[in-house]
Amino acid sequence: MPTTLIVGGSVAGTRVALDLRQLGYAGDIVLVDEQAVAPYDRPPLSKDLLTSANELPQPLLPADRAREKAIELRLGAAAVELDLARPEICLEDGTRLGFDALVIATGARTRPMPWPSHERIVELRTLADGRRLRRALRTSRTVAVVGAGFIGAEVASAARTLGLDVVVIDPAPVPMGRLFGDEMGQRFTRLHAMNGVTTRFGRGITGIEDRADCAVVHLDDTSTLNVDLVVVGIGVVPNDEWLSSSGLAVENGVVCDSRCRARGHTNIYAAGDVARWFHRRHNETVRVEHWTNAVEQAQFVAKAIAQPWSVAEFAPVEYVWSNQYEWKIQVAGRPDRGASECVIEDSGHKRFCAAYTRPSGTLVGVLAVNWPKVALLARRAVADAEPMADFLARVGALRK
């Protein structure tokens, strides 16, 4: 019986395992994760987990479901080495596990902070982080959020819901301007302000001091902020170091071909935040750090293992969502690749979208706020490289 070994038991890893069974894969499936807790989903960690009464996200693969699906869970020991010659992986407790197919789904972790960590500083990636932040938000009055990206903005939003005084700091002049351009960045700035959040954009941090009664955040204009809590959301880096001696191509993620196979190998795949694969639509390798990509790439990899004849190339249109204050944000495609943008307002319904085009006039990405129907149209339209004018006409029709 062949064995598929999956390293990393979060959304990408568990989806590969479950999709393999759904496709009728009859081989052994072993799922390894360094955390000792049942696999869980991360998006709620910066949303419901912080604000609702419910302290635990839904497990992705409880032990009884794993048993029912004949998926062997090996939790609580990290993979520390891949030996391609045997082939097998080695866990930190010395266990060696062989495989016929290997799926690398070790995801990402928070980018190391340039400041020493201490009691009043919280990062957010794992369930343990989420629970710690949840507790800290309930015993704090003031919080500084460092980083105004998706995670920072969601934490700021949750902290306001809980009634804290919030200041958000980011070295960029507007939040998420790199992704959506300056005009949309200004809207994100106003969104924070409308919700009572103080923003210090265009400012760097020179240090974070731990005092007995507060944390002191030093900004590069020599001002300081005294707060009870600091939440740092400055991005992530892939968990690929354990592969450094393996001989696999690793360059800010596991380098894969357009079928998500590690370069030069036909039985080793990567999926989710750790995968850097050749994306035909973009004509370059990309690494995507969003939930939907992890799910779709896992689906693709499961098919590539169970039904290799049925897969072509993995070249999805990107999709991500985020909840910030009263905004339900959905993004399709790559707005950052756009040369120009066009904004459509539907103020009566408190919704709008921004559509981004290439110089040729074809749609490359869409940001939709409180407008799920537009987001739905957008993913298809980006896939079809629809002319901007056609897309705008279809969005216009939705306003009526």
Ligand X SMILES: Cc1cc2nc3c(=O)[nH]c(=O)nc-3n(C[C@H](O)[C@H](O)[C@H](O)COP(=O)(O)OP(=O)(O)OC[C@H]3O[C@@H](n4cnc5c(N)ncnc54)[C@H](O)[C@@H]3O)c2cc1C
Nearer to ligand X, 154 or 170 (CB): 154
Q: 4 forms bridges with which residues in the sheet?
A: 29, 101
**Shortest reach from residue 370's CB to ligand X, in Å:** 15
Nearer to ligand X, 88 or 289 (CB): 289
Lookup: tokens for 243: 């592969």
Pairing state between β 268-270 and 101-104: parallel
Give 271's DSSP letter: -
Q: Measure the CA–CA gap between 298 and 303, rounded to whole angstroms.
A: 9
Three-state secondary structure call for residue 125:
coil
Closest among 299, 129, 114, 306 to 218, alpha carbons compared: 114
* CB-based contact 159:137 (threshold 8 Å): yes
Nearer to ligand X, 123 or 386 (CB): 123
**Shortest reach from residue 145's CB to ligand X, in Å:** 13
**Shortest reach from residue 287's CB to ligand X, in Å:** 10
Q: Measure the CA–CA gap between 293 and 41, rounded to whole angstroms.
A: 14
Chain position carrying tokens 């991360």: 42
**Shortest reach from residue 81's CB to ligand X, in Å:** 9
Binding site for ligand X (CB under 6 A): 7-13, 32-35, 42-43, 45-46, 78-79, 105-108, 124-125, 151, 239, 242, 272-273, 289-292, 294, 320-322
Closest among 146, 190, 141, 151 to 167, alpha carbons compared: 146
Closest among 368, 249, 385, 371 to 315, alpha carbons compared: 385
**Shortest reach from residue 124's CB to ligand X, in Å:** 5
**Shortest reach from residue 46's CB to ligand X, in Å:** 4
CA angle 248/107/153 to nearest 5° reads 140
